[in-house]
Amino acid sequence: MSVEHTRLKIAYLTAEDPESKRSWSGSTYYMAQALQKHCGEVHYLGPIKTVERRIGSIMNKSASLLLNKVVAYDRLIFVAKKHAKVAARRLAGQSFDLIFAPLGTPEIAFLETDIPIVIAEDATFNLVHNYLPQYSNLLVRSISEARDVQDRAYQKANALFFPTEWAAHSAIEDGHVDAQKVHVLPLGANFEEIPPREIAEQKKKSDRCRLLFVGLGWERKGGDIAFETLLKLEEMGIQAELIVCGCIPPEEFAHSRMKVIPFLDKSDEKQREELENLYITSDFLLVPTRRDCYGLVFCEASAFGLPSITTDTGGVSGIVRNGENGFRLPFAARGAEYAKIIADIYSNDQVYADLVKSSRAAFEERLNWDAWGVAAKKILVDMPYEARRL
């Protein structure tokens, strides 16, 4: 039987709970489901809970209090070594064709094995350093150890999966990884049930321009700019409202036509349905994000035919393509610029209808987990299995 038609036996190595829909915003869970459907039998080797990781967390808190510095405790060498020992113990006595490690750089860095390895991440350390809060203002030694852990893991990996060209380019140029090992596979929308294409394409704009802001951090996701956009649309004579979901804005951001939903848990059926209804009934997803390695919310919006208006930063360009499933504005753009592009689209029924259809098409073609699984299989079947079970 050819490799292409053989189900691989996959060791799914994660520090976080692989069955939790909160790990990596649900991507760890849905990635495993896609591998199971398209590639082989997935066997969970996580989560990994260690004293060393807790010590690292304490070190980070101490550095913050005493030195006003940050420690990337998940990438400390002594933590990575311990995680590798735990992983090796769980692998012992079993036969696997492949180790697949989502966000698995620390677990792979010091792992000794002859089993082919795939690491899936959304960014390199070079990209997140001084970009994301947890990797900013780091102690010098923490920077050195984080780079060492990454370099070791990337060298051991047979393949690296990134969701954007932004991240893949960094692995090749900054991490000096062989380009043949690096692959771009966009992540999918993290919903169990997606509305049928014909339903999503029938989306009509509402009588009042409904803006949906979804994000766990008001400042990081550009909430102040979203608020400015609401005010500017009103100044332009366009009735609008802003629904904020996932965070609580500071007190100074209050408006009669702004509704705040602090959090919706997708694991809860009722709350998931409420979130789905927000995607269905809104006219635009407005997230002027300041820092994002990817932005799964844009994949989810596309699944519902909801155009995204966002920022050209980080890996967002790997999801939102101008004129296809929304628009990316320059980082310096403020509410006036966001309001103008929204008003231009909203005021033209045909333009809006076309953008709804092309947003859904983006989901159908590239922003779904089946597309990820099919692309993953094409890569995995070429891995060096000759000396193993196959």
Q: Please answer whether residues 126 and 170 qualify as being in contact, where contact means their C-beta atoms are separated by less than 8 angstroms.
A: yes
Q: Which CATH architecture has domain 3-188+369-380?
A: 3-Layer(aba) Sandwich (3.40)
pLDDT at 4: 54
3-class SS shares of the chain: helix, strand, coil, % to 5: 45, 15, 40
Q: What is the mean pLDDT of the chain?
A: 95
Q: Please answer whether residues 50 and 42 qualify as being in contact, where contact means their C-beta atoms are separated by less than 8 angstroms.
A: no
Q: Which of 368, 219, 296 is nearest to 21 (CA)?
A: 296
pLDDT at 267: 85
Q: In angstroms, rounded to a whole number, what is the distance separating the alpha carbons of residues 372 and 298?
A: 16
Q: Which two structure tokens, joined as six digits, stand for 210?
A: 């409904």
How are beta strands 240-245 and 117-120 bridged, if at all?
unpaired
Q: Which of 22, 327, 325, 309 is nearest to 190 (CA)?
A: 22
Strand partners, 30: none
| Global model pTM greater than 0.85 | yes
Task: For residue 159, give every residue at least 6 positions away whose Cβ sits within 8 Å of its Cβ, in sequence order, or none.
Answer: 116, 117, 118, 119, 181, 182, 183, 379, 380, 383
pLDDT at 6: 77
Q: Please answer whether residues 182 and 162 qualify as being in contact, where contact means their C-beta atoms are separated by less than 8 angstroms.
A: yes
Q: Please answer whether residues 322 and 367 qualify as being in contact, where contact means their C-beta atoms are separated by less than 8 angstroms.
A: no
How are beta strands 240-245 and 258-261 bridged, if at all?
parallel
Cβ-based burial of 327 (10 A; exposed 0-12, middle 13-18, buried ≥19): buried
Spell out, as residue ranges, where the chain has pLDDT lower than 70: 1-5, 384-390
Intervals of CATH 3.40.50.2000 along the chain: 3-188+369-380, 197-365
pLDDT at 5: 65
Q: Please answer whether residues 161 and 154 qualify as being in contact, where contact means their C-beta atoms are separated by less than 8 angstroms.
A: no
Alpha carbon distances (Å) from 6 to 34, 43, 114, 383, 385: 16, 16, 20, 13, 11
Q: How many CB atoms lie within 10 A of CB 103?
A: 18
Q: Which CATH architecture has domain 197-365?
A: 3-Layer(aba) Sandwich (3.40)
